Every structure is written in structure tokens, then in C-alpha cells.
């Protein structure tokens, strides 16, 4: 077993590996040897991913475990307390104990739901993340944030709970929808924009190759993204020091756009637009030079990512969504601003008039 990279994520709660490679799903049973396991394992997945990979993963694990395939609704719909209750029910009926294991097989929504179930079932059981979308591979599966939604808000109910390991097999992306894939790449560029100009340049220059699922450039890009996320999480595990918040660059405006347009845009697309406007706010607030914002927006445009808020958007309504952002404090809008490409800073009080002016001017 040598054709994979192992990244160690160290937090105060413990340390665990993130394995990144091509075709490494075959090592899943071997990696699971490190778990104290009583022999039962539930693979939580949905119809789409289950149809593609469910049987394969089930057979792979059957060599060592009694495997239960649990199918939940596709997409965001599975992040629901009623689904959580149904999964608990299946686990209890199947006799799952404190030493049984949950394998999350799917995108970020499956990961968030499975992590929440694993954290709360019998006060916490083993769990493993096998992310199958780019967004989940470079972001959602790493860092221990689990959550389900409440009818009044997204990700409102959740806990921090780390998996025992994360297995990232790039080959899963072969069946990934191209629009979802490109949307995930917006989060990848974000790591460069906010943390490393070098990585930003790498993604920009190698974009054509990165879009090829079979390329080494894509594998490298995913690995570097995981390293960025792991190092930020290890510095600010519970998102309280303003460090992990840096990864929220583009998200104050991005989340507002997602909500304003009733989630018709992909998350990464809204974040790409958000990155462009937040760069402009950085200029207006005197943090960055005009050339920084111009460069970033034209890069996003060149890469074929959206970068502009549609004409006719009601700015006041957009601002009302921004006030509900999780970073907001006492009604004041917080935003990650850029000093330059590769250097972000969390600013806790961004005047609404400035945001409004930036949005209206564009």
C-alpha cells in the first residue's frame, strides 16, 4: 500500500489520517483494521451514490464485517431530524453497539448527516468518511463539523465530531456532475485566494489539466486543499479564534446569494460571486489594492466561474440575509477581507453602506 498520501489532522480532540489517492477505496477494509470494532458496520448512502458504488463497497467490507446498507434521501433532504431518527431506528434494530462503525459514503450532505448520527448514537461511535464529491473531498469531510437542518435554518443542529479517518479516492469523481465538480473547484481556489498565492497561481495555470479527472494535477490539487483545511482546523478546531473563519471567504455574500435565489445556484458558484464582491469590499475598506480585486474577478471569469450578482437584485434584501450569517455578531456583518491574494483577515464590523455601495456600483 504505497500509492496514496497520508495527511495527519491534529486537534486537541485527537489525531487522525486523511488518505488521498486514486483507486484506494480497495484499502478501506485494511484501514478499518485500526478501529476497535465489534463486527458491525453501516454504510450510509443515498440512491444515486448507492446505485453507483453501494454494492461494491458493501462487498468490499463484507470480507470483515456484517454490513448494513442504509439508504437516505438524496441531497440536502437527508439532513433532517426525521431521517436521523429513522437511521437510529435501523441501527438499534440491527443491534449496533458502541463498537460498531458508520461509513459515510456520499457527498457533503451524507457526511454531515452520518457524522451527526455517529456523534450522538450511544454518545458517539466509530465513523469513517468516504467523500464522493469534490466539495466533500476538499472541504466537508475534513474538520469534524456535523449538522442537520432545521426548517428555520441550514446546519442549525450539530456537533463537532471527528471521523476516525477520511478516505479520499479521486476515482469517485468520474461519475460526478460537471457543474458540481466546477462548483467544488471554486472552494479549491478559495484556499489559494485566502491562504497562498502560490497555490492560487498553480490552480490558475493548471486549470485545464485539473478539469481532467485522470490527471495528476487534480490529485495534487485535492491533496493540497486537504492540507490547507487540516492545518487551519488544527489551529482553530472549534472555529472560535477567527482562523477557521478565514475559510469562510466569499461566504458572507455567497450564502446570502444562495438564499436570495432560493438555492438555485450551486454553493461554489455563489461563493465564486461572493469572493469577487468581498474582494471589492476589501478595496473599499482600504485593506486591498484595486488591482487585487480586478485580478481575482478576471481570474474567476477566465475559469468560467460566475463572478457577478445578477442585474436587478434587491440589495436591501440581500443585506438582510447577510445579517443572519453565522459570523454576524450583535447584528453587525462580519466578513473575511483580503489584504492581497493569499492573505485574508476576518473583519467583524463591515459597514452595510459599504457593501451596498459595492454591490450597486457593479
Ligand X SMILES: NC(=O)c1ccc[n+]([C@@H]2O[C@H](COP(=O)([O-])OP(=O)(O)OC[C@H]3O[C@@H](n4cnc5c(N)ncnc54)[C@H](O)[C@@H]3O)[C@@H](O)[C@H]2O)c1
Residue 150 bears catalytic tag: no
Helix, strand, or coil (residue 8): strand
Residue 251 bears catalytic tag: yes
By rule CB under 6 A, what count of residues binds ligand X? 27
Residue 255 bears catalytic tag: yes
Judged by CB under 6 A, the chain residues 100 through 159 that form the site for ligand X are: 106-110, 112, 132-133, 135-136, 139-140, 143, 145, 155
Site string for ligand X, 51-70 (x = CB under 6 A): -x------------------
Contacts of range 201-210, beta carbons closer than 8 Å, 24 or more positions apart: 204/299, 204/302, 204/303, 207/303, 210/185
Residue 248 bears catalytic tag: yes
CB of 194 to ligand X, least distance (A): 15
Residue 15 bears catalytic tag: no
The strand pair at 101-106 and 126-131 is best described as: parallel
- Active-site hit among 248, 258, 269, 278: 248
The strand pair at 101-106 and 40-46 is best described as: parallel
Site string for ligand X, 28-47 (x = CB under 6 A): ------------------x-
Strands (E), 12-124: 14-21, 40-46, 66-72, 101-106
- Active-site hit among 40, 79, 145, 327: 145
CB of 99 to ligand X, least distance (A): 25
- The span from the CA of 153 to the CA of 181, in Å, is 25
Nearer to ligand X, 78 or 296 (CB): 78
186 belongs to the binding site for ligand X (CB under 6 A): no
Tell me which residue of 55, 102, 51, 107 sits closest to 77, measured CA to CA: 107
Residue 217 bears catalytic tag: no
Nearer to ligand X, 24 or 284 (CB): 24
- The span from the CA of 214 to the CA of 257, in Å, is 33
How far is residue 123 CA from its own chain's centroid?
Answer: 24
- The span from the CA of 84 to the CA of 72, in Å, is 9
* Geometric angle at alpha carbon 294, from 288 and 298, rounded to 5°: 140
Nearer to ligand X, 77 or 290 (CB): 77
Beta bridge partners of 158: 147
CB of 362 to ligand X, least distance (A): 27
From 21-29, 75-83, 160-168, 298-306, give the range in contact with ligand X by CB under 6 A.
75-83
Nearer to ligand X, 83 or 284 (CB): 83
CB of 118 to ligand X, least distance (A): 13
Site string for ligand X, 164-183 (x = CB under 6 A): --------x--xx---x---
Nearer to ligand X, 180 or 201 (CB): 180
- The span from the CA of 44 to the CA of 148, in Å, is 15
CB of 322 to ligand X, least distance (A): 18
Helix, strand, or coil (residue 141): coil
CB of 173 to ligand X, least distance (A): 6
Residue 164 bears catalytic tag: no
247 belongs to the binding site for ligand X (CB under 6 A): no
75 belongs to the binding site for ligand X (CB under 6 A): yes
Burial 149-174 (b: 16+ CB within 10 A, else e): beeeeeeeebebbbbbbbbbbbebbe
Helical packing angle, 315-323 and 251-260, nearest 10°:
120
How far is residue 281 CA from its own chain's centroid?
Answer: 24
- The span from the CA of 196 to the CA of 113, in Å, is 31
Q: Interface residues with ligand X (CB under 6 A)?
A: 46, 48-49, 52, 74-76, 79, 106-110, 112, 132-133, 135-136, 139-140, 143, 145, 155, 172, 175-176, 180
Residues identified as active-site:
123, 145, 187, 229, 241, 244, 248, 251, 255, 267
Amino acid at each position: 500500500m504505497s500509492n496514496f498520501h497520508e495527511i495527519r489532522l491534529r486537534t486537541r480532540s485527537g489525531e487522525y489520517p486523511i488518505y488521498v489517492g486514486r483507486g484506494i477505496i480497495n484499502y478501506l477494509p485494511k484501514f478499518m483494521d485500526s478501529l476497535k470494532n465489534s463486527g458491525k458496520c453501516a454504510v450510509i448512502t443515498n440512491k444515486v451514490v448507492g446505485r453507483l458504488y453501494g454494492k461494491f463497497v458493501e462487498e468490499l467490507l463484507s470480507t470483515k464485517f456484517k454490513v448494513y446498507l442504509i439508504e437516505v434521501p438524496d441531497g440536502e433532504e437527508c439532513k433532517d431530524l426525521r431521517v436521523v431518527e429513522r437511521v437510529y431506528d435501523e441501527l438499534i434494530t440491527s443491534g449496533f453497539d458502541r463498537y460498531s462503525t458508520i461509513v459515510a459514503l456520499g457527498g457533503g450532505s451524507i457526511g454531515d448527516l452520518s457524522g451527526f448520527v455517529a456523534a450522538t448514537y450511544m454518545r458517539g461511535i466509530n465513523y469513517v468518511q468516504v467523500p464522493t464529491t469534490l466539495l466533500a473531498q476538499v472541504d466537508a469531510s475534513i474538520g469534524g463539523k456535523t449538522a442537520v437542518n432545521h426548517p428555520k435554518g441550514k446546519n442549525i443542529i450539530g456537533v463537532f465530531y471527528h471521523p476516525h479517518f477520511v478516505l479520499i479516492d479521486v476515482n469517485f469523481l468520474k461519475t460526478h456532475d460537471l457543474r458540481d465538480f466546477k462548483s467544488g473547484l471554486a472552494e479549491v481556489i478559495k484556499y489559494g485566494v485566502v491562504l497562498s498565492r502560490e497555490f492560487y497561481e498553480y490552480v490558475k495555470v493548471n486549470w485545464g489539466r485539473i478539469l481532467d479527472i485522470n490527471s495528476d494535477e487534480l490529485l495534487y490539487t485535492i491533496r493540497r486543499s486537504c492540507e490547507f483545511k487540516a492545518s487551519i482546523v488544527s489551529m482553530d478546531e472549534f472555529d472560535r479564534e477567527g482562523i477557521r473563519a478565514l475559510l469562510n471567504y466569499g461566504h458572507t455574500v455567497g450564502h446570502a446569494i444562495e438564499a436570495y435565489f432560493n438555492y438555485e445556484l450551486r454553493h461554489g458558484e455563489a461563493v465564486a460571486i461572493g469572493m469577487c464582491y468581498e474582494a471589492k469590499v476589501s478595496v473599499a475598506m482600504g485593506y486591498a489594492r484595486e488591482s487585487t480585486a480586478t485580478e481575482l474577478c478576471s481570474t474567476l471569469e477566465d475559469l468560467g466561474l460566475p463572478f457577478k450578482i445578477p442585474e436587478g437584485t434587491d440589495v436591501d434584501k440581500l443585506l438582510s440575509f447577510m445579517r443572519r450569517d453565522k459570523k454576524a455578531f450583535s447584528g453587525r456583518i462580519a466578513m473575511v477581507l483580503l489584504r492581497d491574494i493569499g492573505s485574508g483577515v476576518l473583519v467583524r464590523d463591515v459597514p452595510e453602506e459599504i457593501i451596498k455601495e459595492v454591490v450597486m456600483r457593479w
